Amino acid sequence: MPTRFWCIVGAAVSVAGLSSASGVAGFVQDAVGGRIPNAEVRLISTVARVVQYRTRTVQDGSFKIEDVRPDVYAIRAQAPGFREEMGPDLIVRDGEVANMGKIVLQV
């Protein structure tokens, strides 16, 4: 009986210790709606004003940054041949993937 008790308690502790991952997702496109692959996307802390996370878009212009600490971030995107653009501030909440939607880059 004591062995079964410890197994149940151990399982409860490991499940309680898990936390949901937070993240940011979206895509980068040009002014006429064409998706831009390999664009750099950066999340910048609005408090510290430093880049906290960065990634590149994949072939279809989408991006996803995982394991993002909950906070408020400015988001910037750039690609060769386009001007750098800044999206609106983004709130990342614990356990949620914030959908940035689209970031439109201008030539």
Tell me the HSE value of 80 on the side-chain side, using a 13 A CA sphere. 2
Q: Binning pLDDT at 50, 70 and 90, where does residue 21 land?
A: confident
Q: What is the pTM of this model?
A: 0.79
Q: In terms of pLDDT, which residue wins out, 19 or 103?
A: 103
pLDDT over 60 (residue 4): no
CA dihedral 62, 66, 69, 72 (to 10 degrees): 10
Maximum separation of any 2 CA atoms in the chain, in Å? 71
The per-residue pLDDT for range 36-91, each reduced to its tens digit, is: 999 999 999 998 889 999 999 999 999 999 999 999 999 999 999 999 999 889 99
Distance CA 62, CA 96 (A): 18
Which stretches of the chain are DSSP H helices?
Answer: 2-16
**3-class DSSP state of 25:** strand
Fold for 20-105, please state it. Immunoglobulin-like (2.60.40)
